[in-house]
Every structure is written in structure tokens, then in C-alpha cells.
Amino acid sequence: MTDALDDNEEATALAAEYALGLLTEDEALAFEAAMAVDPDLREIYARWAEDFVSVADGIHPVPPPQSVLERINADLFPANTANKPSLLARLGLLPAALTGLVAAATVLVVVNLDVLRPAPTAFAPEYVAQVTAEDQSLVVLAAYDADTKVLRLDRSAGAAQTGRSLELWLVVGDAAPVSLGVLADASATEITLSDDLAAGIPDGILAISDEPLGGSPTGSATGPVVAVGAVTRL
Amino acid sequence: MTTPADIETMIARMALGDRAAFSTLYSATSAKLFGISLRVLNNRAEAEDALQEVFVKVWRKSASYQVNGLSPMTWLITITRNHCIDRLRARKTATGQMDEAVDIADAAPGPEALAIAASEGVRIADCMGQLEPDRADAVRRAYLEGETYDELATRYGVPLNTIRTWLRRSLIKLRECLSS
């Protein structure tokens, strides 16, 4: 810049340039890092975002063709078709008998933001999976930090039935599911994975099955799968 | 009439995996977001692809909505606009041509500029009107066409540093007007 702006003006101009996409990649990343720790800067950006959006107020709505929604549904919810039985089959269960009982949904939750990023923490997960029963009776958010091989589990709903245990499985490709252990009673737990298990996380699916107290006695799932979630990269 | 609170509720339910909420949100907002995709990309097939990608993104990012501080329609429109601008810039890079799609919107003021004056965006339209016309035009081009400083410098025939200086000054003036 050739002209001098005061701090307030500089923040105003920078936030507008960020909102318009005029900054270089490096400048944009630096601005996001600054916003992550500066609520005032977030507020300045949010005001620009609101104001610029009104530039689009005069754009007339146009109903999209039905095919777009069909493609979105096919993208987001393939579990309705082929994937669910094959996953259950891979878990060693009987699809025909259990499809109705299990009804587990795959829900991907990506917690990064394209407009704002959360403040950095010591635990820096690159992968997440929300392992959720369709009726929300069991909700476990899994976050994985590849550098430390720590898988953090946060159970926000559900618990094992009395005298039973919930066991977490990692399913990778066509391989047999591998147990990651029984979920602890505490709602938040951390597991450090071996190198073998860690390698499977990026392409893996996490599943939780209902097992006898202490976990499956056989090494593969013996009870119904109560929740499933695919691992997704942040 | 779908209110912002309704849309917020839909997004919150989507974060919990509620597909019905997603369908409702799609019904309520897809025409607006498709209109924006068409306006930015100026190509029907590409706008359809972009809209599909935007809604997939919206579903996956629904859990992060609450923390970003934007009103729900602003969040949706910003994701749509940014996604379409990314596509537009990729297209320009791929074809080496940046003006053909853009020049269709060259005649100022365009239809949406007129409509802005009659809509709730009246204040930004008023404030844009107080900028010198080519500077307001540059802001509009940056927002709706995704033009970069390089492209704006070429368009107005001024050095890069100059375009940046006067656009930043214009943005500060715009903020002063919007805050008054």
C-alpha cells in the first residue's frame, strides 16, 4: 500500500478484500488466522458479508430442474441403496434380518469453515466421523489427529444397555472389521491407535455394535450395529 | 413465508442428520441460490453442477453454521457465491479467456443494479451510488464476477498498486456510508 490507513481502516479494507476474494492465498490464510483469535475482526467481516450479499438481492430466483435434487440425494445419501446391506454384510451380520432393526444413518459432519475457522487447539484433527443412530438414540463424534494417532470420541447421546457394552469397529474396504475397543462409560475418551489401525482411518468407516459386557467374545461383531459413520477429511 | 429463524432451525436439524430438514431447506432456498449461480456463471449446465456441489457442502458444513456469526441466508448465499467464483476463476485459468462471459454484464447499470434500488439492499445501493461510478462498478465486478486485482487493473488501465489503493479507499468510504 502506498497510502497510510489507520488500524481501523486497515481492518475494514482487509475484511472487505477477504469477503470479495481479492486477497492472495497467503493473505487470505493470514486474515483467517487473525480472525480466529479476534472477535472484532470477525464482526467486521460478518458486516461486510451481510452487506455484500444484498448486492445479490436483485437477482431473480430461478427454480432449478428436478435432476439437481436427484443428483444431490444420490451424492449425499447413497446408504439408501447399495451401501447399507454390503456394509452390514461385511460386519458379519444378516442383512435381511437386521435391516429393519439397524436403520443406521451415515452422517458426515465437516467442522471446518470456508468463511471462518475455529481457533486452533493443541488437538488438531484432520479427520472426523459422526457415528449416529438414525433415531439419534446414539451420537458419537469421532475426531482423529494423524500426527499423534489419537482418536478422540465424544458421546453426546446414548449409552450401553445394562449388562451390555458398545464396541467400536473400524471397517476399511472389504477387510474384516477391526475392533477399536469398547466405549468407556465416560462420554469423552481418547484412544491412541497402532500404526496399522491408523493407516486405515482416512478411508475407513466407524461402526458401533451392541455386544456382551466387555465386548465381543469372538473378535468380530456379534450384536446389531447401532450406529455407523464414514470418516471424512477436514 | 420462510423466516430466517426457520432456516436457522433447518440448518441446526441438518447438523443432526435430519434429511427432511434438508429437503425443506432445498425447497425454500434452491431457486434463490440457483439464480445466483446462473448470474455468476452465466452457463446453465455449470450452474446446475455448482448448485449440486453447494448443497452437498451446505449439508456437510451444517454443524459449523452456528459458530460463524452470519445470518442464515448470508451464510448460504456466501457459500454459493464463493463456490461459483472459484469455478469461474478455474474456468478462466483453463481457457485463458476472462472477458467473454463477463462482458455480457458490461452495460451498466445491469438489471440487478436497478432491482437493488427497489429491494431491501437499498442502503448498499445508495452508498455504492455515492462512490465514483467506475469504483462502484469495480466493487460490483469483484463481488459478482470474481474479478481479481490483476483483471481490474487491466480493465481500468492502471497499475496494480493503484487499483488496490483506490479500491481499498472506496471500500472504506462504503463502510463509512453504510455505518452512518
Strand locations in A133-200 (E): 139-145, 150-157, 164-172, 178-182, 188-192
Q: What is the pLDDT of residue A117?
A: 39
pLDDT by residue (tens digit) across A68-114? 999 999 999 876 544 344 444 445 443 333 333 333 333 333 333 33
Q: Model-level pTM?
A: 0.59
Distance CA A202, CA B118 (A): 50
Q: Mind listing the pLDDT tens digit of every residue in chain A (234 residues)?
A: 445 788 889 999 999 999 999 999 899 889 988 888 888 998 999 999 999 998 888 889 999 999 999 999 999 987 654 434 444 444 544 333 333 333 333 333 333 333 343 333 467 788 888 888 877 788 888 889 888 888 988 888 888 888 888 989 888 876 778 888 888 877 788 888 888 889 889 888 888 888 888 888 887 777 777 888 888 887
Instruction: Determine the Cα–Cα distance for residues A106 and A84; give it in Å rounded to an integer.
Output: 9
CA angle A171, A175, A178 (to 5 degrees): 50
Cα distance between residue B146 and residue B162, in whole Å: 19
pLDDT of res. B112 = 42
The Cα A210–Cα B6 span in angstroms is 37
CA distance B44 to B37: 9
pLDDT for residue A122: 65
Looking at residue A15, its pLDDT comes to 96
Asked if B173 reaches chain A (Cβ–Cβ under 8 Å), the answer is no
Q: What percent of chain B has pLDDT over 90?
A: 58
- Measured between alpha carbons, how far is B64 from A87 in angstroms, rounded to an integer? 28
CB A140 within 8 A of CB A183: yes
Q: Is pLDDT above 50 for B79? A: yes
Is the model more confident about B4 or about B150? B150
Give A54's contacts in chain B (Cβ within 8 Å).
Answer: 116, 119-121, 123-124
pLDDT of residue B1: 67
The DSSP H or E segment spanning B1 is none
What grid cell was written down for A227?
Answer: 450406529
User: Are residues A203 and A144 in contact, defined by beta-carbon separation less than 8 angstroms?
Assistant: no
Verify whether the Cβ–Cβ distance A13 to B39 is below 8 Å: no
**Residues of chain B numbered 98-157 and touching chain A (CB < 8 Å):** 111-116, 118-121, 123-124, 139-140, 142-144, 146, 148-149
Sorted by sequence, the CB contacts under 8 Å of residue B23 that are 6+ apart come out as none
Q: What are phi and psi of A191, to 5 degrees?
A: -125, 135
- CA A228-B28-B31 angle, to 5 degrees, is 110
Residue with cell 446446475: B48
In sequence order, what are the residues at sequence separation of 6 or more whose Cβ sits closer than 8 angstroms to the Cβ of residue A146?
A126, A127, A198, A201, A202
DSSP state at residue B141: I
Task: Determine whether the interchain pair B140/A107 forms a contact, defined as Cβ–Cβ distance below 8 Å.
Answer: no
Helix (H, G, I), strand (E, B) or coil at A44: helix
In the beta sheet, which residues pair with residue A79?
none
In this predicted complex, what is the ipTM? 0.84
Residues 6+ apart with CB under 8 A from A125: A143, A144, A145, A152, A234
Q: Residues of B with CB below 8 A from A157's CB?
A: none
Question: How many Å apart are CA A208 and CA B120, to the nearest integer?
Answer: 50
Size of interface A-B (CB pairs under 8 A): 183
Q: pLDDT-derived band of residue B122, with 50, 70 and 90 as boundaries?
A: low
CA distances from B6 to A5, A165, B168 (A): 41, 39, 36
Write a three-state SS string for A190-226: EEECCHHHHHHHHHEEEEEEEEECCCCCCCCCCCCEE
**Hey, is B43 helix, strand or coil?**
coil
Convert A66-85 to b/e letters by CB count within 10 Å (16 or more is b). Answer: eebbebbbeebeebeeeebe
Task: Please name the member of B59, B82, B121 whose beta carbon is closest to the beta carbon of A54.
Answer: B121
